[in-house]
Copies of this chain bind each other. A is one copy, B any other.
Amino acid sequence: MSKAADDEGVPGGRGEPPGTSAQQLGGEAAGGKLPSKLSASSFTPGWTKVSCPCCASERVEPLVRVKLGPKVVPETKRWLIKLIGAPQKDGGAGLLAHPGEDATGNIIMLSAPRCTLLRATEELGLCKIYHNNEMEAFAYNDRDNFRDSDNMEVFLTLAERQYIIKYELDGLRAQKDLKIPGMPDSRTLQKRDNIWQKLGQAGVIVDTFPLHNPGKLKDLSKSWYSGNQLAQPLDKVNEYFGSSVAFYFSFLDFYTWSLLPPAILGLFIAYFSREVQREMLQSVSGSQQEEVQDDPEPLISGHMLQAVFSMLWSTVVIELWKRRSSSLSYQWGTLNLAERFAEPRPGFHGDLGVNPVTGRVEPLFPEWKRDLRMALVSVPVVGLFLGLVVLGMMCFYWAEARVQWLHKDWNSMISQTFLYVPSVLHILYTNMLANLYRTVANSLTEYENHREESAYDNHLTGKILVFTFFNNFAVLFHIAFFKQDVPLLRKRLASLLIISQLVNQVTEVVIPFLVDRFISAPHRTESEDDPEEDKFRNQGTLPTFPGLFAEYIELLVQFGYLSLFSCVFPLTAVLLLLNNLTEIRSDAYKICKLFRKPFCPPVASMGVWKVAFEVLSFVSVVSNAWLLLLSPRLQKMSQEAGMSSSNLLMGAVMVEHVLILVKVIMAALIPDEPDWIRKKREHIEYTSMQALRQQKLNVQQS
């Protein structure tokens, strides 16, 4: 049986891969232990040999699929499999490779033996449950004291195991100058070249992606979006997709629930305040009705109440999220990540030198040079693009005014069509600019040469974020601050909310559903009876997961609408709450069914997004103070009291300053992490301080 599997594994007789001899332990056990539909464990024969006896396991679970280029010859594939399977001390990745059973032969399946997984767990700085039930930073040498450290499928989450494979592949570096076998001579690897990156550039490797686990996926989807449950299975999401995805869904969850207070307040205001009802009616009907007033209005209008509430609410939400986030990070073992101390990310370059922190030889790049590049190149370029957005908006307003003037003058069919020209041109311009900016942001961040993957991601995200945010809110800010037109702002906000939510629901719920029903589903039923390997091939046809940027930015824009402008339209929170309740499910459905599984590095928080939400919550004070000033009630009151407009403005500025002060004090007083986590962190610090002393002594004595 093991021989047969081998022959299937290398179809077309392209020569025997180096790892054909099946592992003796796993050959027969694989099929019997687990139902083949739920696990993908029938591959044990055909895997490369493991180098240490402890890693020989009964079955090997294929975790990652590598797709080779169409022109790759068997010689190159053999070399690659050997490289992947070689132990790390010989310059290999220390992984398990399988030549695959695909007819075209351009596939390699990867898995990881126990030792490699455990060593990488230590390198990444993941925390796992120690024998005393505390989370402790994992140490390879101390592995026997960690719970379940003999069973990798329990000890590490699926996402961690898959990420570790990517981590090892990205860490492959040529130990000497090397010609790639079976490739033209022009393609050589130089010493310390990043092999995986170079092979990708050379077209040898087309794709590397983690595989779905159908059984677990079915289980997850059942408890996530199929039923009517309110809570999300966040731990399971972390287990299956990894902490970055789990953080997004946790935040979505947290944020959705925190919409309840403003939603209730909004409903209350909308129901009781006739003023708001009249205004909302106006904003929907678009006509300025004559104000009919029969009984005295209360001193504080809903508008003002909502403005003050928004300011405080946004601070409290963000502060509480920080606490929740650090609890989650502790629970998922990512509180203590050691990315700073690990190898630099693949794209990082610099002069070879000794890292003063870890003492390892690796490329070094001085901090001040990076700062200089950011200050002198990145910041001006980003500023330029923001300027172009403003310029575009100004041109649009100018052209619109011009065209309307022309239309009034001519009043013909031609001039009527002209009315749409500025809008169309502006949309085209904005889109072009956004695309151009994305490319520029990528190159800028690459040029900044960040050492850590997370720093790179954060700077790239930050750049795109600023631009997208500006693009989304420039018009609203313009209406609020320059035109100072509250009814227009209300109208615009309502239409943005309703339209953007309709578009969202269609693109995120209806289309995915239709695609799944009528395009994917027939395809899938066909593959139900197919052999296991076909399932993996199908996954290759799915589109790549586009990342969480679009999801986060949607939440950020929502949060912006709510915290910045919601006082002019009290039902904002209600609409958002309704939207998010379906959003949770549609996002979950999307990531489970419609895309390939993404690689998710373990992360300790939302990273730059947390900062973005925090900044927004500060801007909300300014914006709300301003809208408070524009509130019709206040304007009327001040007119009646004979206050000058500059006195009123001064009052608003004072209110703003006091509220910013309150916000800063609140942010300082609410600790960012719960007390019990602070204690655990300090305990770790204390024990490592003690250990350092002990170690020095031991070194000295020996």
Question: Shortest distance in angstroms between A371's beta carbon and chain B's nearest beta carbon?
Answer: 7
Indicate the size class of the contact surface on chain A: 35 or more
Nearest 3 pairs of A and B residues by beta carbon: A139-B693, A691-B695, A646-B646
Chain B residues near A700 (CB, 8 Å)? 142, 144-145
Q: Are B669 and A357 in contact (CB under 8 A)?
A: no
Q: Which of B141, B653, B693 has a CB less than 8 Å from the CB of A697?
A: B141
A341, A357, A649: most-surrounded residue (chain B CB, <10 A): A357
If A371-B669, A675-B367, A700-B145 touch, whether A357 touches B686 (CB-CB below 8 Å) is yes
Q: Are B696 and A694 in contact (CB under 8 A)?
A: no
Q: Are B139 and A696 in contact (CB under 8 A)?
A: yes
Apart from A142-B696, A145-B700, what are 4 other A-B pairs with CB-CB below 8 Å?
A137-B689, A356-B679, A371-B669, A692-B692
A645 proximal to B (CB < 8 A): yes
Q: Which of B341, B366, B653, B692 has a CB less than 8 Å from the CB of A653?
A: B653
A interface residues, Cβ below 8 angstroms from B: 122, 137, 139, 141-142, 144-145, 338, 340-341, 356-358, 366-368, 371, 375, 622, 644-646, 649-650, 653, 657, 669, 671, 675, 679-680, 682-684, 686-698, 700
Closest to A122 in B: B693
Q: Which of B649, B684, B690 has a CB less than 8 Å from the CB of A649?
A: B649
A603 to B367, CA, bound (A): 28
Chain B residues near A145 (CB, 8 Å)? 696, 700
- The dominant DSSP class at the A interface is helix
Chain B residues near A644 (CB, 8 Å)? 645-646
A639 to B37, CA, bound (A): 83
Chain B residues near A367 (CB, 8 Å)? 671, 675
Q: Are A657 and B695 in contact (CB under 8 A)?
A: no
Chain B residues near A137 (CB, 8 Å)? 689, 692-693
If A358-B686, A650-B649, A653-B653 touch, whether A694 touches B695 (CB-CB below 8 Å) is yes
A137 to B688, CA, bound (A): 12
If A646-B646, A682-B357, A688-B689 touch, whether A139 touches B653 (CB-CB below 8 Å) is no
Closest to A130 in B: B696
Chain B residues near A645 (CB, 8 Å)? 644, 646
A173 to B356, CA, bound (A): 44
Chain B residues near A679 (CB, 8 Å)? 356-357
Q: Are B691 and A688 in contact (CB under 8 A)?
A: yes
Chain B residues near A368 (CB, 8 Å)? 675
Question: Shortest distance in angstroms between A355's beta carbon and chain B's nearest beta carbon?
Answer: 9
Question: Shortest distance in angstroms between A302's beta carbon and chain B's nearest beta carbon?
Answer: 26
Q: Are B692 and A688 in contact (CB under 8 A)?
A: yes
A145, A368, A646, A657: most-surrounded residue (chain B CB, <10 A): A646
